[in-house]
Every structure is written in C-alpha cells, then in structure tokens.
Structure 1
Amino acid sequence: MTNQHMVTENEQNKRVDKLLTELIGDISRSQVQTWLADGHVHVNNGRVKAHYKCQAEDMIEWSLPETEETAIEPEAIPLSIVYEDDDLLVVNKPRGMVIHPSAGHSNGTLVNALLHHCDHLSEINGPNRPGIVHRIDKDTSGLVAVAKNDQAHINLAEQLSTKTMERQYEAVVHGVINHETGLIDAPIGRDPNDRKRMGIVETGKDAVTHFRVLARFNGFTHVSCRLETGRTHQIRVHMKYSGYPIAGDPKYGPRKTLDTGGQVLYAKSLQFNHPRTAEPLYFDVAAPEYFQELLAQLKKDVDRS
C-alpha cells in the first residue's frame, strides 16, 4: 500500500528522513534511511537521499517493502478499552503485555488482541505493527492510542512530533527528592557498552522529561512525569541519570530494589486532539492495583517511623 503526504510550510527545510520518521511515529530514523536507500520512498516521483531538505508542497510517497514475516494471528485477548470510534482506540494496556510481536514474543501481544477486536487498523508501520503509533514497555501498564486508519495515524504521529499530545506517567523512585519539580534534558541513545540498554549518549536523540513530586516516603518518592519526547525507556533512563532510579526496574534500577515484578511505572493520562474533528480529548486511568498497594505500604512505613 502506498502512503502519501504533502509537505506543509511548517515542515519546509526538514530532512526527509526526519520528517518521515515523525509522520510514521513508531519507527526508527535508521529504518527510514534504509527505505530511502532501497527506493521505497519517493519525493515528487523521484528518489532522494536521506539528507534531502523538504520544500513546501513536495509530495512524499512511501510503500513498505514486502516482508517474509509470519502473518500475525488475531487472538481473543480481553482489552480494557477506554475510548473507541471509527478512527482510533485508547486502550489501558495491562502490565506484562508486549505491544507488538517481535523476537521471543510472537503472540499474546496488544496487536494480536487488536486484530481480533478491530476490522481495520492503520498500515503505515507495516504488517507487524498495525495501528501502533507509540509504545510503552512490556512491564509498564497504562494508556496507549491506536490508529484505525492511516489518516488518523499520520495526524496522531504529528501531534507526538509537535508535542501537542501530552503524556503523563506516575512512578515510585528510589531516594527522597527534596525539590518539588524538575526537568531532565539529556540525549538518549544505545548504551555503547550494552546494546540491549539505552543510556545518556552525547550523540543520542534529544529527550526531555518533566517531573513533579507527589509524595515522599522513607527512602522513596512518588512522582508524576510528563514527556516532551518519546525515546525508548526515556523515563527509566532519565530518572536513573537524575540519581533517582525507578523502583523495581531490573534494567536501570539498583541491584537492591523492590521485588515488584518490574518497574513501578504506569502511563496515567493522554491528552490530544481528535485526528478527524480536532476535538480536545483527555483520558485518565487509576493506578494499577500493585501500584496502589505499594503506596499504601510505603505510607504505613512512614506512619510507623
């Protein structure tokens, strides 16, 4: 399937690889550069290099290469649907569920469940990630927006890129943060010493996280985090960098952390404009049960001390 986008004046002079990465959303810039090199992207019916600077009214066309991946099977997995219409869904993803199939996770994913629930999902990200505009980690629960068609997908991805989609998270971190608010502005990239981890890397992508203290306990702090950007493991990496790693995090937390089955982090709220009507939408979910139980226990520990 061929997708098209006409460059607007606001997008003028952006590199085509950067603009296309923003338009598609849940895809890496290096993958887009590969598509450009392989001739899967055209501008005004011609091939261009990744560094091409887009001009207003340029027509970008792209069609994803055929893959040999096994077709994803729909699965009758219960979904907690917060909102749904003809263009999109907002789902409260449970902890432990992977967003889309990948090596080691061929089934039981959110995509498997969505394919069973929906007749149509956007195809911009290819057959392995239908409908997926943005992701949250397997062990992070909470709100995810899903596009049912390509037009909605492009619009939602653009809102992510232009920071008009607001995403709020809550977490419990190690340490007692004395100040009320903070901003972490540090680029994130692959850890050069461990390719399975992300880290603060000078050549990484810009990443900005705002946080606010909600409650303090003995040795821990309950915080709210707002993302300006959406880098892989952003909150987990940034909170570690700030000196307050997320409790229970097996990858970025300290060796001695809480036994919670994963990072104590959930995607609490989403705010964006409807991709068709531009109506402002706001969604909010309560903390998962394990999160609430941990807060209650931490409060008891304070009361006893």
Structure 2
Amino acid sequence: MRKRPPSIDGLGASTLQLPPGAWPTVLDCLCERFPAVARLQWLERMARGRVVDSNGRWLTPETPYRVGLEVHYYREASDEPPIPFHEVVLHADADLLVADKPHFLPVTPAGAHVHETLLGRLIRRTGNHSLVPLHRIDRDTAGLVLFSGNPQSRACYQALFRERRIEKGYEAIAPALPNVEFPCIRSSRMVAGEPFFRMQEIEGPANSKTRIDVVARYDGYWRYALTPITGCKHQLRVHMAALGAPIANDGMYPTLFHRAAGDYSAPLQLLAKRLAFIDPLRGVERRFFSDFLLQT
C-alpha cells in the first residue's frame, strides 16, 4: 500500500490526481489549476522537493503530464504572520494528547493559515508526526482539543465521539435573556447558509440540539453553560443568536463582520471548557478543564 509523504514542519501534504488535459508538463497543469500560486513559487517548491509523486520521487519542471498521476505538494504561505498566543499541553501520553487552544489559532491548515495552526505547532513541539485531531473547534473559539498520537489506537478514541460517549461543556458570554426559563433546550434544523461558510436554521425536523443554562449574571451580560447534544457546525453560535443572545464579539452570527488581518482585539467569548470520558484503553475516567478565561 502506498504511503502518503511525511509531514514537513508539522504540515501534511495535499494531493491532486491530475485530471484529463493537454498540458505538456505537470508544472503547466499546476499553474493552470492553481492560478493564485505563481509559476515561480511552484518552481521553488519543486527545487526543494515539496512536490512529489506517490513513490516520493521529486517532480521537476520537466516531468511530463500524465492523466491520473497523484501529485503530493506542500502548501506554503508567503510572509505568514505568527499568531501571538500560545497553546498549553494539558496531557500527553503515547496515545492521547490534550491541548488548550487560544483564540484565533486554527486547529488545522485553512486559508492563509498554513504553519500557524495548533496541529503544526504540536507536531513541531513533540516530534510526533502521527498526531491527528479527534475533533475540531473553530479558530475563533478557545479551549480543549483532543489529539490521537498513535494510529494503532486511534479508532478507540474516535469511537468516543461517534458513539457520543464523551461529555463536552462550553462557556459563553452573551446578552441576558430574562424572559427565558433555564435550563432550556434549543432544537432546530440547521443547514448551510449564505455565504457558504455560515449556517442557518430552517423549518423541518431538528438535527441540532443544545442544552443551555446560566452560570452567572452580570449587568447586561450573562455567563452561559452550553452543552451540545449534537455536533452541527457553528451550532452553539447559531442557537444563541436565534434565542436573541448572540455570543459576545461573534463576527458571524447574527450578522457577518469582517475582521482585518492581524486584528486580535475582541475575541469571541466562547470557550470549550470541559471534556470528560472513560479512557477506552485504560478504563479510567478522564476529566480535562481549560485554563483560559472569558472576558466579563
């Protein structure tokens, strides 16, 4: 069985199976397929062995184009700025790593964030190229993320999420809801909205459910405990906004707000605070709590 190329500096390779076309070289195909990447950048990547085939052989500017050829390449971002916040490793053994992620740091590469990700930082920090996130939280959200560190035991931990044998607890700061009786359950049908990266509620059978309670009351804003019973994208943010209490500093719900690059003011007041489960390998109860604090 063919193996994927190893990660480099914490970044795994992306894969493209060359489509039908009349390009003379692989380079020509890549340049047309990815117009945002300059030809010179592809040439530089090839010169450094960052574009390879399924056998790990370096592809060169002269490599002839062939339909179906698997091309593995490493994404790069020029002048990627560092994100000035740091993660904390709360637990690490041969099978499991638990990290406490700060706001603004993505879990995995996305968009302009290539090396400045939680996954990349942890691989560089531990030297373990087998690390894989077992779940995700938004870049805007701070808090706990679990990683598998061993492919042999990964399925055991993945089953915790698939079979809902893991307790997840969040905290949020949002406007007061004095006319709502707590605790309450918000259930709704959520689907992709506009733009494509936002979610919306529509009529129909519910596919999302959140338990909401109040932890503390402040002047105008309350601290809420949010327990996702299901795991839809942006579920907590959508449900709080739908109740009339959008999470403080939410730039996506109920309305979209563009944050300038490098603007780290006013982080979203949502925190993945707690994770609890029975370790499937050791049979012991695991409880982890984020040390990050929301702004009140």
Q: Tell me, yes or no, whether TM beats 0.5.
A: yes
What per-residue deviation string (whole Å, max 9, x for no partner) do you get for residues 139-159 of structure 1?
211111110022433222211
**Residue 221 of structure 1: CA displacement?**
1.7
Per mean C-alpha deviation after superposition, the further-off stretch among 276-285 and 169-178 is 169-178
Give the CA deviation at 1:262: 3.0
**Alpha carbons of structure 1 residues 90 and 140: separation in structure 2 relative to 1, 3 Å:** same
| C-alpha spacing 1:78/1:266, structure 2 compared with 1 (3 Å) | closer
Aligned-residue CA RMSD in angstroms? 3.1
- Report what 1:278 is aligned to: 283
Partner of 1:188: 190
**Of 75, 85, 99, the match for 2:93:** 85
Find the counterpart in structure 1 of residue 74 from structure 2: 70
Which SS does the other structure have where 2:138 is aligned?
Answer: coil
Greater C-alpha Rg: 2
Q: 1:263 aligns with which of 268, 273, 289?
A: 268
Are the equivalent residues in 2 in contact too, given 1:176–1:217 (CA < 8 A)?
no
Task: Write the letter of the residue equivalent to 2:74.
Answer: T
Measure the CA separation in 2 of the matches of 1:229 and 1:2.
Answer: 36
- Unmatched 5+ stretches in structure 1: 4-64, 123-129, 296-305
- 8 Å Cα contact 1:245/1:254 also seen in 2: no
Instruction: State the TM-score, normalized to the length of structure 1.
Output: 0.63
* Mapped contact 1:173–1:221 kept (Cα < 8 A): yes
TM-score, normalised to structure 2's length?
A: 0.65
How far the C-alpha of 1:106 sits from its partner, in A, is: 1.2
Map 1:3-152 to 2 at 5 A: 68-70=72-74, 79-122=87-130, 130-152=131-153
Q: In 2 relative to 1, CA 255–131 (structure 1 residues): closer, same or farther, beyond 3 Å?
A: closer
Aligned equivalents of 1:114, 1:252: Cα separation in 2: 30
Residue 187 of structure 1: SS of its match in structure 2?
Answer: strand
Q: Write 1 or 2 for the structure with the bigger share of helix.
A: 1
CA deviations 1:24-57 (Å, max 9, x no partner) are: xxxxxxxxxxxxxxxxxxxxxxxxxxxxxxxxxx
Specify every segment of 5 or more residues in structure 2 that has no aligned partner in the other structure, as ranges: 4-68, 258-263
Please state whether the residue corresponding to 2:74 is helix, strand or coil: coil
| Paired residues of 1:207 and 1:231 also in contact (CA < 8 A) | yes
CA contact (8 A) 2:172 2:271 kept: yes
Distance across 2 between alignment mates of 1:99 and 1:81: 14
The alpha-carbon deviation at position 168 of structure 1 amounts to 0.5
Aligned sequence identity (%): 27
Distance 1:161 1:203, change over 3 A: farther
CA contact (8 A) 1:188 1:201 kept: yes
Number of positions where the alignment pairs a residue of Structure 1 with one of Structure 2: 218
Q: Which residue of 2 aligns with 1:216?
A: 217
Q: 1:250 maps to what in 2?
A: 251
SS in structure 1 opposite 2:153?
Answer: helix
